[in-house]
Structure 1
């Protein structure tokens, strides 16, 4: 009987494989000579169905939360998980958390490359073309103070001395930590209002969506 169960599990995993990896995203911003850093552990899981006609159907989910850089009196910068955009190509080249770590390691998360993802090790710096969506809250307690920023215009928006000094991803086994509500107190209400109810927005319209801040599995 045990042999039959094992055989069924082997067949199931062969036809419905899943690929999991976890990484730390860390970004540092210098303002007026002081370094501010935010980081978060993010877990990506790809679940696939049977391969048919040389192609497979796979879908990703995220666990974890956005990285928040607390700038004190200057507010906070959030590196979101999802870009919050509904048009492609995504404005300013912002990259989804599903792909940003894999991209840094040279893996495009294609069907053929997915099996390599759980075996990634080490750390990679982020390039300006492989960067998360950045949102600046001049007042972290007020979601209406949100403003999109980029690596290129941060000095024009926040402070003339502002510049990103470090940004990297690193494969880790550290646990996922969920405390976004302590950093963005309006978030629980946003999640309650949106999760499971669908969010409609016009193409090109910037709108805060709960899954920009926490993963679907969180």
Structure 2
């Protein structure tokens, strides 16, 4: 579907005023789409289909945006925000973090004397994200409560969250702090996205529990 999702969700889409693209997925076929893409699936014959999530570097900004939206409205439109998706995001951050340490192990204990910049990382590490993309990833792993999707049906329980996810959240927050300390290029993108999170949590119960890395306006 082209255009933006209505603020109230896909239920308010005016069908005859949008343009839709249809894909026929045959047996053994795979269809991928960007994060936050409004979609629906229809079976024309009896069949079994498996859906899942993955994150391309180019989709991190869209994932950040749709995650904040689903926190308020639930995942009725994109089914992006849940514990399995969060697990992937923590793993992606781990991949990039370990790639940095493999090149510059001295960064961990402060003995690095190479004055490595973020631009150096982008040149040295294949498919390394831009500062804005990395800031979105850091927010989605260090500020996870702001992206947990709302339970829009009162009689529907939320997803179970394994203890390992809580451990990942702490580890990712520690790694985010280190990356922000090491690389100045990340600080403004991170601050800007934390302001967006603050705005999305305003007047909610989670507002007082949100702990940004950068104070508002700093």
TM-score, normalised to structure 2, is 0.29
Q: Which has the higher contact order (CA 8 A, sep 6+)?
A: 1
- Bigger share in strand: 1
